A and B are shown apart, each in its own frame.
Chain A
Amino acid sequence: MKVICDRAALLSAINAVARAVPSRSPRPQLQCIKIAAVKPAKGGGELVVSGTDLEVAIRLSISQVEVNQPGEVLIPSDKLRQIVSAESNEPTLTLEVAGDHVTIRGADATFKLNTYPVADFPPLASYAETVAQTSAAPRTRTNFGIGAGVLRTLADRTLFATAKEQSRYAINGVLMKRDGKKLTMVATDGKRLALCNGGLGAGSSKDDKAVSAIIPTKALQMLRDLVGDVEEPVHVVLTDSQLICAFGGDISGKEPARATLTSNLVEGTFPPYEDVIPKEQDRRVTFDRDVLRSAVSRASLLTTEESRAVRMKFSNTGKQLHLSSRAAEMGEADIRCDIAKFEGDDIEIGFNPNYIVDALKVIPETEVIIELKAANKPGLVKAGADFVYVVMPLNLT
């Protein structure tokens, strides 16, 4: 293999792929990045950079490359990244493989790195093969296209509600459900639940049966970060055990993709989220998002680990929300906030202010609605048509 490659393009690809490479692993081969140089018959050339920790894999193509001799190589990720990053004065770098080592050459520097046999790198599922339902590929359950921007919005508006800690009972993933022309993502940490809907792109197959899967939180984060151009189409295929997302290209997989992310799915069942979303809220309070966010943030200043609660008194007569918090041995806060619209009776309820603010942060709409029923029943935060957020109250003492 011998290529001359644009250094900046190579570095950004390596950085993106390295997120899937484990920083520690008993197998050094897994701490490597695979680089494959291909030279299609019709001319040009392409460098495919990939990395995996066996849970998630990322593969990126670089076209700013001149392929002199096609081939493949497995290079330790850390060193490769450091070298490519350190050669900052070079517009291009030459990579040449000979035997079991690779030579990386700039104008005044030559690095000779030991490599690993390419065969040690795990085979990665390919979008095209999976969609083409070749006998080797796992069975497709659903296949659709979605705008990269929509995908990012869905991820942003749910990821924050996933469990922070690695608990045996928490779901370390986000539910992804494709139903007709709609994609829904749902995340919960057992105390709140965020749900967001988005429309699918043109060209998606018409599946009549809804299909859902749990995507690992980490994979969804990476997927989100692969989004560059919001207009770029992303093609998704779900199998029984994997999610494959191809950025760019076309739904059939014939056009090569710019980037591909493959992830194993989380096994297990997602909580019955539809049952959890309350349907009979009889108080409906409308706020200006920023007014509410500022009030709740300030009230949260006087909460502690043991007493998180901000007491919220919604008063219809005064059209005011009265927030108060108290931290033992610290002090108290008392904040008033205007209500734009109030339907229903007065109510007093306690919430973890962080849970409210988290949601307000990802809401682009300026108007938010809080729906309530009772002090020990869930609260509902809604904004626009696509976002629903359920948050469990705190029992006040």
Chain B
Amino acid sequence: MRDGAPQIDQEVATGSRRAVEVAAPVGGGPKPARIAVLSPLVASQIAAGEVVERPASVVKELIENSVDAGAMRIEIELEQGGIELIRIMDDGCGIEPEDLALAYAPHATSKVKSAAELERIPTLGFRGEAVASIASVSRMSIRSRTPMQESAFELESEGDVLGKAKPAAGSRGTTVTVRNLFFNTPARRKFLRTIPTEYGRCVEAVENAAMAHPAIGFTLKHDGRVTLDVPPGQGPRDRLLAVLGKELESELLECSADEMDAGRGMTMFGLVGKPSIARGSNKAQHIFVNGRPVRDRTIMHAIAEAFRGLIEPGRYPTAAILIEMDPAMVDVNVHPQKAEVRFRDGSRVHQAVLHAVRAALAKEDLTPRAESMVERLSGLAQRPMWGGWGADAARAILPAHGQVQVASSAMPSAEAVEQDRQKFAEYFARQQPMQGRIGYASLQQAMSASEAQPAASLMQPAEPELLMPPTPAKQVLQVHKSFLVTQDEAGVLIVDQHALHERVMFEFLMQRVMKDGAGLESQRLLVPVVVDATEVQVERLATLTPLLNKLGMELSAIGPRTVAVQAMATFLIEKGVDAGEVARELLEKAESEQGWQSLKMASEEVVRDIVNMMACKAAVKAGDAMTQTELADLLALREAVDRSSNCPHGRPTTIRLTIQDLEKLFGRT
């Protein structure tokens, strides 16, 4: 099929299509173009457009073939970011010499025989399309030797011109070499990015494969330099750390779901980053299902859900998660680059991941160390862990192409470093005005309140709290009526009083509402608080009553556009929260279509939202003075409550400055 057919550049093919479009204005009326069957090469090249986008796609497909061939070691060699040369060497089962030509043929595969088998695909490949597609847009050679053979055979191709299999020297396994990618489709070649960019993508592909298959050894060489080398026979933990960067170890939490899902034919192993290393995008989430890297919304949502309240909105957890399951439970034939899968039972997978990640987070003290922040500011360049998640390999290219823009997330380029620096500056900027807003207003309030207090100290000699007998370990200092400073075994703890109190209240209330199922106790009001409402809100009120009662709110319509609050949760009343304000927020939520839908379902999510709002209102504010007892009580709760490291919005409640950090900051080490 490849011999004889005229070699047509894709531009010619698209050119003729363009001719149809321009024909209309010239010819006075549309003149139909004739229909012709595409030549096999053009068909292949069009198909290749789906599979082969860039060197990295070639790397991915060829590594997958090696994995399917049962390789123990896979070596990848690249030149010029893969644009010039890609060579994949494996020690797998090899290809029989007489099958070599078939490997080049489209829709030829040794992996799937019947449509039924497509239902449960155990291999990475199944379409028989990859090699054909790659060959149609490159100069390719496959040299292979099966264990039975004395010597290797090699078959070369150039576009659609296929050579003859010849004996060649070579050890057991298969070596596929791809040169001059897109040499015959200049338009495609033009779309290739710079060498560092393409190389970065290739690194990602190799890293993904290495993470997905811990038992296989991988070596990556770029322009003669070894940039990644992981030995065969590793366990998932060691492999993930080897790829992500060993220095991240202390920032990663292990989560697994082995026993839990053994009965359902699913196991999971993962490493998730503590909230402190959350990122601005979800690029640092590596998800693998049955050895395939996938971008899966179900799983990403489960991760986000587990982290809810631990990181700020707009931040994404870092995670690497390996899932193995019965191939019958997952459809892999849904995306041209196999970058997505479809689960037969998505909610089960969601639950499993959510629980495993949640459990891992619950076990940990997630208090970020101030040290990491200090280092972020000062030592960004030296510490790749902040610049990019892992990828020692990728950095090797930097000296040569220092100025080049690097798109890969794995590369701590100057730009990425700058970005992190900026994010960090933003972090502080965000914290301050936030504090400022709550803080300043309520600080002023507090000041005027203390002004209004009778000057009791004039009547009796002052008995300042400072004179209280000091309790050495538990001394707490309230700074600017906003932050608490105390110590623990490791060093100094700095606590945002509002954030911590908010979290503590949130957890208590959620416990009561969700787990105990009892709902919140409420205080009836002497005179109902009347709020204005819209007709829609009033109409929807009745449906909400059961949910509101559970949350200690009793609202009733007393007119077509008036609602009365008869009762409110006791704890809100005690904290002096304005019932009208709470009612208005609830009514506004009911008015928006999205809010209404979730309120109607009374989902856990919406309960969380409301409890969150309540906790925020009831919590001590920046600027609220607290007594020693109150301070001690609050800090004691920090240890008693889950997720106390972050407020329900995900901002940190506590920052730790260890003794080592202090020593470092004072230049003692």
A-side residues, CB < 8 A to B, are 15, 18-19, 21-25, 78, 81, 163-170, 188, 190-193, 218, 221-222, 271-272, 276, 305-309, 328, 350, 352, 376, 378, 390, 392-397
Q: Are B455 and A21 in contact (CB under 8 A)?
A: yes
Q: Are A392 and B526 in contact (CB under 8 A)?
A: yes
Query: CB-defined interface of B514-536 with A at 8 Å, one 1/0 digit per residue?
Result: 00101111111111010000000
Q: Are B524 and A376 in contact (CB under 8 A)?
A: yes
Q: Are A395 and B526 in contact (CB under 8 A)?
A: no
Q: Are B455 and A393 in contact (CB under 8 A)?
A: no
A306-B458 contact given A276-B526, A394-B522, CB 8 Å threshold: no
Q: Which of B412-420, B574-582, B658-666 contacts A (4 or more CB under 8 A)?
A: B574-582
Q: Are B571 and A167 in contact (CB under 8 A)?
A: no
A352-B523 contact given A22-B451, A25-B451, CB 8 Å threshold: yes
Q: Are A397 and B520 in contact (CB under 8 A)?
A: yes
Query: Residue A169 contacts which of B522, B554, B578 (CB distance < 8 angstroms)?
Result: B578
Q: Are A395 and B554 in contact (CB under 8 A)?
A: yes
A390–B526 alpha-carbon span in the complex (Å): 8
Q: Are A306 and B527 in contact (CB under 8 A)?
A: no
Query: Residue B526 contacts which of A15, A221, A350, A378 (CB distance < 8 angstroms)?
Result: A378
A19–chain B nearest beta-carbon distance, Å: 5
Q: Are A191 and B573 in contact (CB under 8 A)?
A: yes
A97–chain B nearest beta-carbon distance, Å: 23
Q: Are B516 and A328 in contact (CB under 8 A)?
A: yes
The 8 A-B residue pairs with the shortest CB-CB distance, nearest first, are: A165-B576, A392-B524, A397-B518, A395-B522, A24-B451, A306-B571, A18-B458, A19-B454
A-B pairs with CB below 8 Å: how many? 109
From 18 to 39 in chain B, residues with beta carbon under 8 angstroms from any chain A beta carbon are none
Q: Are A395 and B552 in contact (CB under 8 A)?
A: yes
The answer to whether B452 has its CB under 8 Å from any CB of chain A is yes
The answer to whether B629 has its CB under 8 Å from any CB of chain A is no
From 465 to 512 in chain B, residues with beta carbon under 8 angstroms from any chain A beta carbon are 508-509, 511-512
Chain A residues contacting B451 (CB-CB under 8 Å) are 22-25
Q: Are A306 and B576 in contact (CB under 8 A)?
A: no
Query: Residue B523 contacts which of A218, A390, A392 (CB distance < 8 angstroms)?
Result: A392
Chain B residues contacting A170 (CB-CB under 8 Å) are 576
A383–B599 alpha-carbon span in the complex (Å): 47
A352–B519 alpha-carbon span in the complex (Å): 17
A222-B522 contact given A306-B509, A309-B570, CB 8 Å threshold: no
Chain B residues contacting A390 (CB-CB under 8 Å) are 526
A395-B521 contact given A24-B447, A192-B526, A390-B526, CB 8 Å threshold: yes
Chain A residues contacting B519 (CB-CB under 8 Å) are 397
B-side residues, CB < 8 A to A, are 445, 447, 449-455, 458-459, 508-509, 511-512, 516, 518-527, 529, 549, 552, 554, 567, 569-571, 573-576, 578-580
Q: Are A394 and B523 in contact (CB under 8 A)?
A: yes
Nearest A residue (CB) for B518? A397
Q: Are B450 and A24 in contact (CB under 8 A)?
A: yes
Q: Are A19 and B455 in contact (CB under 8 A)?
A: yes
A397-B459 contact given A23-B450, A167-B578, A218-B452, CB 8 Å threshold: no
A306-B524 contact given A81-B458, A222-B454, A394-B570, CB 8 Å threshold: no
A351–B508 alpha-carbon span in the complex (Å): 21
A393–B449 alpha-carbon span in the complex (Å): 30
A129–B520 alpha-carbon span in the complex (Å): 56
Chain B residues contacting A167 (CB-CB under 8 Å) are 576, 578
Chain B residues contacting A25 (CB-CB under 8 Å) are 451
B156–chain A nearest beta-carbon distance, Å: 75
Chain A residues contacting B571 (CB-CB under 8 Å) are 305-306
Q: Are A169 and B529 in contact (CB under 8 A)?
A: yes
A19–B455 alpha-carbon span in the complex (Å): 6
Instruction: List 18 other contacts, CB 8 Å, given A394-B521, A395-B521, A395-B554.
Output: A19-B455, A23-B451, A24-B451, A165-B575, A166-B449, A170-B576, A188-B526, A190-B526, A218-B452, A218-B454, A272-B527, A306-B521, A308-B523, A308-B570, A308-B574, A395-B524, A396-B521, A397-B519
Nearest B residue (CB) for A17? B458
Chain B residues contacting A166 (CB-CB under 8 Å) are 445, 449, 576
Nearest B residue (CB) for A192? B526
A47–B569 alpha-carbon span in the complex (Å): 54
A265–B570 alpha-carbon span in the complex (Å): 31
B584–chain A nearest beta-carbon distance, Å: 13
Q: Are B554 and A306 in contact (CB under 8 A)?
A: no
Q: Are A190 and B527 in contact (CB under 8 A)?
A: yes
B576–chain A nearest beta-carbon distance, Å: 3
Chain B residues contacting A222 (CB-CB under 8 Å) are 454
Nearest A residue (CB) for B529? A169
Chain A residues contacting B453 (CB-CB under 8 Å) are 23
A309–B519 alpha-carbon span in the complex (Å): 13
Chain B residues contacting A21 (CB-CB under 8 Å) are 455
Q: Are B512 and A306 in contact (CB under 8 A)?
A: yes
A390–B455 alpha-carbon span in the complex (Å): 32
Q: Are B512 and A191 in contact (CB under 8 A)?
A: no
A24–B576 alpha-carbon span in the complex (Å): 25
Nearest B residue (CB) for A188? B526
Report which residue of B508, B571, B573 has the largest number of chain A beta carbons within 10 angstroms of its beta carbon.
Answer: B573
Nearest A residue (CB) for B516? A328
Q: Are A306 and B570 in contact (CB under 8 A)?
A: yes
Q: Are B525 and A190 in contact (CB under 8 A)?
A: yes
A271–chain B nearest beta-carbon distance, Å: 5
Q: Are A308 and B525 in contact (CB under 8 A)?
A: no
Chain A residues contacting B445 (CB-CB under 8 Å) are 166
Q: Are A168 and B574 in contact (CB under 8 A)?
A: no
A198–chain B nearest beta-carbon distance, Å: 23
Report which residue of B511, B523, B574 has the largest number of chain A beta carbons within 10 angstroms of its beta carbon.
Answer: B523
A390–B549 alpha-carbon span in the complex (Å): 24
A221–B450 alpha-carbon span in the complex (Å): 16
Nearest A residue (CB) for B451? A24
Chain B residues contacting A221 (CB-CB under 8 Å) are 454
Q: Are B578 and A276 in contact (CB under 8 A)?
A: no
Query: Residue B458 contacts which of A15, A24, A168 (CB distance < 8 angstroms)?
Result: A15
A135–chain B nearest beta-carbon distance, Å: 34
Report which residue of A81, A169, A188, A222 has the largest number of chain B beta carbons within 10 angstroms of its beta carbon.
Answer: A169
A164–B574 alpha-carbon span in the complex (Å): 10
